[in-house]
Every structure is written in C-alpha cells, then in structure tokens.
Structure 1
Amino acid sequence: MSDLSTGARPRTAPPHAWMILALACACQFMVILDASIVNVALPSIRGDLGFTGTGLAWVVNGYLLTFGGFMLLGGRAVDLWGPRRLLIAGLLLFSAASLAAGLATGAGVLVAARVVQGVGAAMLAPATLAVINTGFTEPAARARAFGAWSAAGGVGGMAGALAGGAMTTGLSWRWVFLINVPIGAVLIVLASLAPLAARAVPAASAARRGSLDVLGALTGTAGLAALIYGVMRSPEPGWLPVSAAGLLLLGVFVVVEARFTAAPIMPLRLFRIRSVAVGVGMLLVFGAIAIAMWYFSALFLQNVLGYSALGAGLGQTPAAVTFLLVARRAAVLLPRAGVRRLVLTGGGLFLAGFGWLAQADAGSGFLTGVLGPTLLVAAGIGLTFPTLMAAVTADVPEGDAGIIGGLAQTAHQAGGSLGLAVLATAAASGSQAGPAALATGYGLVFAIAAGLGAALALLGLLLPGRALYR
C-alpha cells in the first residue's frame, strides 16, 4: 500500500523521479497534442483524400475508439512488464502510426493509421500514470506531479489548437501527424537511455510476470470498444444492437474477472477501495464536462460567432492558460485543502460557468458571452482533474499502479465519448438552422453540463474523509 494508507513515514521523491516525471509529461503532451491538433485540419483532409461527410468523422473516432477500448489492456501490461517497457513500445507504435498517417494516400490508410495511433496512446497513458504513482508516494510530491502531468496535457491541447491551424494554412495537413515523428524519436531515445528510470519505477516482480489474462482482455476490450463504437454511431440506424452487445460483453468480462481467472486484467478487489470506486465514477462524469467545454465552446465560436478555425483556437487560449495556472495551484492546495473541498469548488465553478455560457446567443460578444464563462469552467477543470487523478490512485498497491492508471484514463475517455454522443444529440436541436437556432442547441448542452458539474460536487462528498481526502 502507499504511504498514505499504511501510515508509514512518507518517502520524498528522489531527484531522478522528477527526471522520469519530465518524460511522462512529455508523453502526455504528445498524446493530447495529437487529439487536439487534428480537428482544425479536417476540412483540408476531406478535400485531399476524398472522404465522405460521415467517413471523415472516423479520422477522430478511429483514434478515440482504440484509445478508450485498449486502455485496460495497456494498464495491465504495464503491471506485468513494467512502465518503462510500455512507454518505449507505445512511443514506437505511436510514432510509426503518425508517420503512416502523414504519408497516407487514401482515406482507408489514414483511418487505419489513426486506429493504430489509438493503440499506442492506450499503452502510453497508463504507463505515464504508473510512473507518477510509483515514483511519488508522499502526498505533496504526488500532488505536484499530477499537477505537472495535467498541465502538460493542457499545454498539448492549447498547442494543438494553435499549431493545427498554422500548419494546415502554412504547410499541409500532413504535418499535424508528421510533427509527432521527431517528438516521438526524441522521447524514445530518452526513455531508452535513461538508466535512472529503472530505479525510479521498479520493474514488475517475478511473481506477477506470466501470461496475460487473455479471456478477460478479449471480453473487456471488445465490450468497451463495441459500446464506444455504438455510442459514436448513435445518430445512425443499427447503433442500439452494437451498444447492447458491448454491454453484454462487459457483463461477461465482470464474470470472467470474478470467477474464471487467477490473474485478472482488472482485479475487482480494487473497487472495494472507496476512493477507487467513487473516483472512477467521478472521472466518467468529468469526461463529459471536459468535452462540453473544449469541443462545444469551439463549435460555438465557429458556428455561432463566425470565427475561423485558427480564430477559435486563439479564442480558447485564455481558458487553456487559466487551466494550466490553476492545475499547478491545485497541486499546492491538494495536500492542505483535500479532495472534497477542491471538488466542491470545481463543481461550483462548473455550475456558474456553464450556466453563464448557456445564456450566450448569436448576438453575444466574445468578452461578455464567452471569455468570462470559459475562464470559470477552465478554472474548475484545472482544480478537478489533477485532484481526481491523485485521489483515485492514492490508496492503491504499487503493483496495481498500471491497471489503476488504465482504469482512470478509461473512465475519463469513456465519459468523454458517451458525453459527446449525448450532448451532440442535444446540440442537434438547431443543426438545420442558422446561428440563432444553433446557439439554442449549444445552450442546452451547456445547461446539461452545469447539471453534471453539480452532480460531480455531490459525488465528491462520498470520497473518504481522511488524510488527503479531508
């Protein structure tokens, strides 16, 4: 168990652990950069490769599908073979897929490359969390580490929104993928040559090495992927049977993990830890809130206020900067204020910010209609995200750090995917009309998000009321 749960004297992070944190943050930056940089390039991609309107969505959905669907498998692989190996393997796969995407000559090749990119990201994400969880056991050091990790993602998102527009306009859409190749090459070299990584993150023990839980991996990954795929297709006929099949497979997965495997890919015993059970549920809700902020505020700027893609990226920059600053501050506040207070504060900011944003319409100015509320919501995200990631991993045995990292990221991604499907349906109320009707649809999205913020705050009251969680 971690120092927090055993009462042992906490270890401060050794100097080399911060070096490994820098590598983990760089990997997180690359993954989030890729997720955000593609959006503004989609019209150019469609024109060059001949995508249909529905086919173009799979440039994004293909990545999200495998990223979310393979996260649990990646998390368990981290625990079996160690985070450093998974970091290197994930970087190799992600970089190779990025090169293939940048050189793609047809729509099918690009979508296939994005699917493989998602698998690479599903290996990287739990490995970076395992690095933090095993390298930083003292609460204040761990909080700072999660703050830096969250900030790295925020920088990646902000850089992606700006760099995507600049590259697409000045160079070619291909560079939104090719940019990952030199970044990945540098990180592969650093991860391969850093001898201190082995001491900062202990290798998987011989007792835990062995064959992977194949049946659990197949049912869990296929079930989650089918559910996400079905939800993504929710506007189209036939989505319900696919989603039902996904839920059925997830039910089989739970039975397999509980009764038919000695070394489960997701030990159900972890859900006996209240911070894990409650924290995972909160991350599902948080994923939908984050989608409402970054995705739909960008659409509001473009479709209602008439901004260009680059203009929308610039319009979101103040919120991204606010997120970065607050995430760093949350790392300082967390050990003293505790999870409950920060989550309650974040929920209040979501309620106020989204409630304000829901009032904006086609006649609203940027300063009064968008900037103010998005700054409030971004501050709430900066407080909440690193807080939840620290909370869900705090009481977990070090040997399960990888799977908890995968589970936390899966909950976040699944919440975003499910939230996107539900909120897109709400936004579609004005999809066939002009800016005024579109603003009404987006207003409904923001009102729902405000309610989700209130629900998140209430769930935070269920977290343990001791130590880090007071």
Structure 2
Amino acid sequence: MSTVSENKTSLNDVPPGGAPPADPGRWRALALLGVLQFMLVLDITIVNVALPKIETSLGFTQSGLAWVVSAYVLMAGGFLLLGGRLADVFGRRRILLLGTGLFMLASAVCGAAVNPGMLVAGRFGQGLGEALAAPAALGLIALLFTDSKERTKALGIWGGLTGIGGITGYILSGIFTTYLSWRVIFYINVPVALMLLVVVPRIVTETRMIRDRSHRLDFTGALLATAGLIGIVYGLLEAASHAWGSTRVMVPLIAGIVLLVVTVVVESRSSEPLIPLQFFANRTRTVANVTALLFMAAFIPYSFLLTLFEQQVLGYSPLQSGLSYLPLGVAIGMGIGMSTGLTPKIGVKAISAVSFIGAGVGLFLTSMITPDSSYLGGLLPGMIILGFFAGATMPAMTNAALHNVTGQDSGLASGVQTTMQQVGSALGLATLVTLAVRIAGDRLADGIAPATAVTDGFVMSFRIGTVLLVLAGILVALLLERGVAAEPQPAEVHS
C-alpha cells in the first residue's frame, strides 16, 4: 500500500481564493476515520443493554448506574470545543492520535474495573478521548475533500456512521453480554484503537493553522462549561427519586446554571474565547447546531427507554433486546442513502425539514405502546419510520453545520456540532428518563399496575421527544437558508 508523506504546510499556504489540491489518499483516510467514528459512537450506547449485568457485578446503586452512560457523554460534550481548537492549533492528525490513545487506555480501565468508581472514571476518560479525536477527524474530512460533491458524499458517510454506530452498540452489547462478558464491550476497543494508531500516520496527512506564540487556549471555559453541565444533569437525575425542591436537586441544578452563566461571562471577555461570538453570526450554522441538540435529546432517550420497556415490561432477554434494533439500523442506512443522493438536488433545507417532522411521526407512533404491545404491531412501525427519517437528517445537517466554515476553523465547527449532540444526549436522558420515572411512581402511588405505570412514563417521554423533533423541523423550515452546502473556505493567510 502506498503512503502519503506528511505535509507540514497548512491551508494557510494556499493562495487567497484558491483551493488545496485533493489528497490522493483521501478515500483511504476516510475509511480509517470512519472506523474511528464508528468506535467512538458505539461506546455511547453499547453499555445500555449490559447495565443490569454491570450493576450486579460491580455493586452499583441504581442512581449510580446512570453515570456509566452520563459520564461519557458529559465529558465528551464538555471538552469537544477545546478538542476542536487544539486540533486546529497543534495539528488535526496529532490530536486525533492523542485522543485515540487516551480512549484505548480508558477502555482498558473500564474492562478491568473492580468497583463502580473505577468504571465511571474510565468512562470519563473515554469521553475525554472522544473530545480530542472526534472533532479532529471531522476537521480532516472537511480538508481532505476539496470537491463539494465528494465532500457531500464523505460527510454523508460520516454522519451515517453516527447513527448506525449507536444502533450497532445495542446489538453487540446483547451478543457480548449473553455469550461472553460485559467486559468485552470495553476490551474490544483496544485492538481497534491500536490498529488506528499504527495505520493513521501512514495514510492521513497533517494539517493545522499557523499559531502565534502569544495565542492561548481556553481551558478555563471548557472546565467551567463541563462542570456546569455535570451539575445540571446530576440535579435532574436526582429528581427521579427526590422532590424538586430538595437540596439534592436544587443545589446541583443552581450550581450548574451559575457555572454556565459564569462561562458565558468569561468567554465574552476573553481575547481567545472557546467559541468566538461571531461564529454564531451565520444563521444556518446556528440552526443546524440547535436542531442537533433537539434531535439527540429525543433520539437517545428513545433508544434508552425502549430498551427498558422491552426488558422490564415485555420480558425480552438482553440478546432479544439488542437484536430488536436491527431494523432501526437498516432504516437509518436507507435514510442516509436517500438524503445523500437528494441533498445536492433539492437542498439541505427541504430534506431536513421533512425528515425532522417525519422522525417525529415515527416517535409518536412508538408512544402508542401498551404493556400488551407486540414487536411487529407495536414497536416496529414507529421504529422504521423514525429510523428512516432520522437517517435522512444526518448528512444534510452535517453539511449545514459546516456551512461557510474557513479551513482554519473546521475543527472548531465540527466540535460545536458534536458538542451539541452530546449535550443534547445528556440533557435529554436526564430530563426524559427522570420524567418517566416520576410519572411511573405517581401512577404506582395511585394503585395502577406496575407494567401500566412504567409504560405510562415511557409514553409521556416519547411524546415530549416527538415535540422536540417537530420543533426542529419547524426551525429548519423557517430559519435555514436556501441553497446550503458545506464548503469550507480557504483559511486566511497569517503573517
């Protein structure tokens, strides 16, 4: 296999108004970066089906068990923006390799965990590894593919892996948990990451912006934002078992909100903010990122709660529950294919608006479940519709999130988008899962049968998720610019 030598230059060396030549190894690079993305996204959902086994094995409390999921998405979401800027400044390939190595070590810690604290610490480490690797990888794609049509295809593949990787996590978790051990879901990352660490430097070229030594990186903003999000999510999760006015709920919620306000104040006064305010001056990018948050706030709780419904109400085994998501993955793939082909012809706006609302219809159908629902008649119709239209939103909105992004800020733009996805996942889980638990508790207190009470909680959460998806579609229809295509512009020349 031929290799591509490292290019120490950056887009800053491209003449103004020009475009860098296409990298001859771009498709091989995309294949490797796709493997990385698949592995990272997989670890958001792969633990879900295995949670009961993990709880028994390590002695988790039920409230503590939620952090096995939340630790990952919170750390990833909180530091992705910093990761994107680190990639822009120090080199996207270099930061990608650093993040991949950290992810590998943290995965080994998770697999070897002997107590709850060790596993949660490992999950925080995995999230930090993603925060470094994911924006660097997406930034590389935006720069490797200089032709707009090729870039649309590449970003479509990338966006599709986000959805398919999440669904595959449930299937693999069911298989590994049933036939091997829950520890395998973490150990499987080690050989994959090792392969990437060896092969990526031989295929992927280095790119970075020129950085003056006087520039600084905003670690303070990242720490404040992450701490604030952790406080809010902790408070919301505590509300599942404590009154809203209790100190266990209000103290972390108020502290989290205060920290986020402080973050905004600090960032507005910083000469080198984590996110320059002018980044959001582009209406299309702003809409794309807001809808990414709304989408994940509905989609991730859907899959989380549906898994609980299948195992706790319908009595599915872990393997049955994992395999039940296979049609969802197929539907997502079909939606991605349709969107990738039609977006260049009819535009991001039309595809996204219809797809968000269509996904809402699918989630609403799922909210019609009862304790006696069958898989074919009760779960599958909504799953297929939701999956198809959810898949259709992915490549289209990835293009919108990178609309008119300069080459030097491609890592930042991809970091903002992925941050919104992770923050949406964490807030959606904390809010909708808490809502489902509280409704079930109220129904049980009224003397309703347990299966019906639990189902009522899931139904209400699914319907709120429906509202979020429809709202995303309305925002796109009203606010997204026409003729959107992701075409990162050459970076400015710095003297």
TM-score (norm 2): 0.87
Aligned to 1:86: 95
Do 2:171 and 2:323's aligned partners in 1 also have CA atoms closer than 8 Å?
Answer: yes
Map 1:88-167 to 2 at 5 A.
88-167=97-176
Given the superposition, is the C-alpha separation of residues 326 and 456 from structure 1 closer, same or farther in structure 2, using an over 3 Å criterion? Answer: same
Deviation at 1:283, TM superposition (A): 1.2
Aligned in 2, Cα 1:106/1:350: closer, same or farther, shift over 3 Å? same
AA matched with 1:334: T
Of 282-291 and 421-430, more deviation after overlay is shown by 421-430
* 1:53 CA drift (Å): 2.1
In 1, Cα distance between the equivalents of 2:214 and 2:130?
23
Give the corresponding residue for 1:422.
431
Distance across 2 between alignment mates of 1:240 and 1:349: 37
Would you say the 8 A contact 1:352–1:450 is kept in 2?
yes
* Residue equivalent to 1:211: 216
Quick check: 219-228 or 296-305, which moved more? 219-228
Q: Sequence identity of aligned pairs in percent?
A: 37
What's the CA shift string for 1:223-278, capped at 9, x where partnerless? 3343344334343442333232222222222222222x322221111011111222
Aligned residue for 2:453? Answer: 437
Deviation at 1:120, TM superposition (A): 0.7
Aligned alpha-carbon RMSD (Å): 2.3
8 Å CA contact 1:13–1:141 kept in 2: the answer is: no
Q: Which amino acid aligns with 1:254?
A: V
Taking the aligned partners of 1:215 and 1:162, their CA distance within structure 2 comes to: 39
CA distance in structure 1 between the aligned counterparts of 2:274 and 2:434, rounded to whole angstroms: 34
Counterpart of 2:293 (choices 264, 284, 297) is 284
Instruction: Report whether the alignment pairs 1:468 with 2:485.
Output: yes
Q: Say which is worse superposed, 92-101 or 449-458, in terms of deviation.
A: 449-458
More divergent stretch after superposition (85-94 vs 47-56) = 47-56
Offset of residue 317 of structure 1: 0.6
**Post-superposition shift, 1:137?**
4.1
The runs of 5 or more residues in structure 1 that have no matched partner are: none
1:447 paired to 2:463: yes
Residues 358 and 446 of structure 1 are in contact (CA less than 8 Å); yes or no, is this contact kept in structure 2?
Answer: yes
C-alpha displacement of 1:342: 1.0
2:264 to 236, 247, 254: 254
Change (3 A) 1:290 1:318: same
**Once the two structures are superposed, what CA deviation does each residue of 1:191-239 show, in whole Å capped at 9, x if it has no partner?**
2332x422xxx22324488431243333333333433443343434423
Name the stretch that deviates more: 425-434 or 39-48: 425-434
Q: Does 1:48 align with 2:53?
A: no
Alpha-carbon distance between aligned partners in 1 of 2:229 and 2:89, rounded to the nearest angstrom: 21
Residue 184 (structure 1) shift: 0.7
- Whole-Å separation in 2 of the counterparts to 1:90 and 1:51: 28
C-alpha deviations, 1:98-144, integer Å up to 9, x for none?
Answer: 11111122222122111111111111221122122222343322221
Q: Which amino acid aligns with 2:228?
A: G
Whether the aligned pair in 1 keeps the contact of 2:87 and 2:208 (CA below 8 Å) is no
Change in 2 beyond 3 A, CA 1:225/1:262: same
Q: Which residue in 1 is equivalent to 2:276? A: 267
Instruction: Please tell me the residue identity of whatever aligns with 1:45.
Output: I
Q: In 1, are the aligned partners of 2:60 and 2:116 still within 8 Å (CA)?
A: yes
Give 1:467 shift. 4.4
The residue that corresponds to 1:227 in the other structure is 232
Higher share of residues assigned helix: 1
User: Residues 101 and 109 of structure 1 are in contact (CA less than 8 Å); yes or no, is this contact kept in structure 2?
Assistant: yes
Which range moves more in the overlay, 75-84 or 157-166? Answer: 157-166
Paired position in structure 2 for 1:197: 205
Query: Do structure 1's residue 177 and structure 2's residue 186 form an aligned pair?
Result: yes
Q: 1:438 to 1:208 in 2, by over 3 A?
A: farther
Q: Which residue of 1 aligns with 2:403?
A: 394
Counterpart of 1:197, as a letter, is T
Structure 1 pair 233/31, CA: closer, same or farther in 2 (3 Å)? farther
Q: Deviations over 1:327-385 (max 9, x none)?
A: 13312211212121111211231232122222221222211211111100011110112
Give the CA deviation at 1:466: 3.0
One-letter code aligned to 1:414: V
Pairs aligned (count) = 459
Q: d(CA) in 2 for partners of 1:192 and 1:58?
A: 34
- 2 CA distance for matches of 1:107 and 1:381? 34
For the residues of structure 1 that align with 2:197 and 2:398, how far apart are their CA atoms?
Answer: 25
Structure 1: distance between partners of 2:186 and 2:20: 40
SS of alignment partner, residue 95 of structure 1? helix
Q: 1:407 to 1:318 in 2, by over 3 A?
A: same
CA contact (8 A) 1:74 1:126 kept: yes
Instruction: Give the 5 Å matches for 1:368-379.
Output: 368-379=377-388
Query: Structure 2 vs 1, CA of residues 467 and 219 (structure 1 numbering), >3 Å: closer, same or farther?
Result: closer
Rounded to whole Å, the distance in 1 between the matches of 2:201 and 2:25 is 15
CA separation of 1:400/1:107 partners in 2, compared to 1, >3 Å: closer, same or farther? same
Check whether the contact 2:78–2:222 (CA below 8 A) recurs between aligned residues: no
- TM-score by length of structure 1 reads 0.91
Code of the aligned partner of 1:50: G
Contact 1:280 1:392 (8 Å CA) reproduced:
yes
Cα 1:228–1:140, aligned 2, differ >3 Å: closer, same or farther?
farther
Q: Within the alignment, does 1:71 sit opposite 2:80 as a pair? A: yes
Give CA deviations for 1:16-43 in whole Å, capped at 9, x if unaligned: 2222221221111111221222122222
Distance 2:96 2:123 in 1: 19
Which residue number in structure 1 is paired with residue 392 of structure 2?
383
CA distance in 2, matches of 1:148, 1:438: 37
Residue 318 (structure 1) aligned with residue 339 (structure 2): no
Q: Distance in 1 between matches of 2:327 and 2:308?
A: 16
Tell me if the contact between 1:33 and 1:157 (Cα under 8 Å) persists in the aligned partners.
Answer: yes
- Of 356-365 and 407-416, more deviation after overlay is shown by 356-365
> Would the alpha carbon gap of residues 219 and 107 (structure 1) be closer, same or farther in structure 2, given more than 3 Å must change?
closer
d(CA) in 1 for partners of 2:327, 2:228: 39
2 CA distance for matches of 1:387 and 1:250? 30
Structure 2: tracts of 5 or more residues without a match = 1-10, 487-495
